[in-house]
Structure 1
Amino acid sequence: MEPLTEQRPVSGPVVYGFLRLVRVSQARHDALAASLTEYCRTHELQLSGIFSDRDATAGPVSAAFTGLLDVLALPDVYGVLAPSMSHMGPKAIATERRARIETAGSRLLLVRRPCPTRSSVDRRRSASRRPLRTVTVLDGAS
């Protein structure tokens, strides 16, 4: 009799991590790498490597990002994992990098989703703090 699928070693989709670490300690690097590893463990992904960009002056095509694009061309690579969108770089660079990842046929996965805009948070807060209003029900016989 064959063992159940849950008892067989099954590898999940292959992803590569990307970290932008400008002026960051080794401890911070290790903590971010551990968060990517844990995310992959809980989401059944196979983390095959982590590329680290440490050059603040590099444009959208840094050495680390070029290496990442190279591995995305390999067969069976699902996507790129980053702690947050800020690890792709400043907004203009992040937008271009995201487009290049998608053009390579991969997905960009973020451990932390982007925060909602301040106006949407303020609307939710104000909606929850509205005072209760008294409603008078009139009897139809009045």
Structure 2
Amino acid sequence: MRVPRARQDALVGSMAEYCRSHELQLSGVFTDRDAAVGAASAAFTGLLDVLALPDVYGVIAPTMSHLGPKTIAGERGRRIEAAGSRLLLVRKLRTTHHAVSRSGPVRRRHPGTTRVLDAESSGPRWP
């Protein structure tokens, strides 16, 4: 899926602002251009490799849909958490009830600025 450069820049800018306001450092952007590649795309595999580096806290995405279609996004979310990282969504899912975190309070691996990565799949879909 081709996304206009201005829209892509706006998404990255929004996530960078989110990181600044939450004392995080945006360290990299991983983008798949083909939605048909499945859960193990080259970009997602690279993201998982980077999550293994020291001082990487997690992954930031505008919404869960930026990780891919629903079934792929769910699998990718589980793989991010299995890697010991947090998945941070700029926009939370709208629910009719209060969501409760299963993983408990947020713990940082070290004090100060925390590094996060951005993962997008099949182009940005920010409404």
1:79 has 2:58 as partner = yes
Aligned to 1:102: 81
| C-alpha displacement of 1:95 | 0.7
Structure 2: distance between partners of 1:44 and 1:51: 21
Letter in 2 for 1:94: A
Deviations 1:39-78 (A, max 9, x none): 0000000111111111121100111101100000001110
Instruction: List gaps (5 residues or longer) in structure 1.
Output: 1-21, 122-142
Structure 1: distance between partners of 2:37 and 2:91: 24
Identity of aligned residues (%): 70
Structure 1: distance between partners of 2:6 and 2:75: 29
For residues 104-123 of structure 1, the aligned pairs below 5 Å read: 104-116=83-95, 120=96
Instruction: List gaps (5 residues or longer) in structure 2.
Output: 98-127
Structure of higher CA gyration radius: 1
Structure 2: distance between partners of 1:53 and 1:29: 12
| C-alpha displacement of 1:23 | 2.5
1:59 has 2:35 as partner = no
- Corresponding residue SS for 1:28: helix
Q: Which runs of 4+ in 1 moved over 4 A?
A: none
RMSD: 1.3
Query: Normalized against structure 1, the TM-score is what?
Result: 0.66
- Using CA pairs under 8 Å that are at least 6 residues apart, name the structure with larger relative contact order, 1 or 2: 2
Query: Normalized against structure 2, the TM-score is what?
Result: 0.73
Count of residue pairs the alignment pairs up:
97
Aligned to 2:29: 50
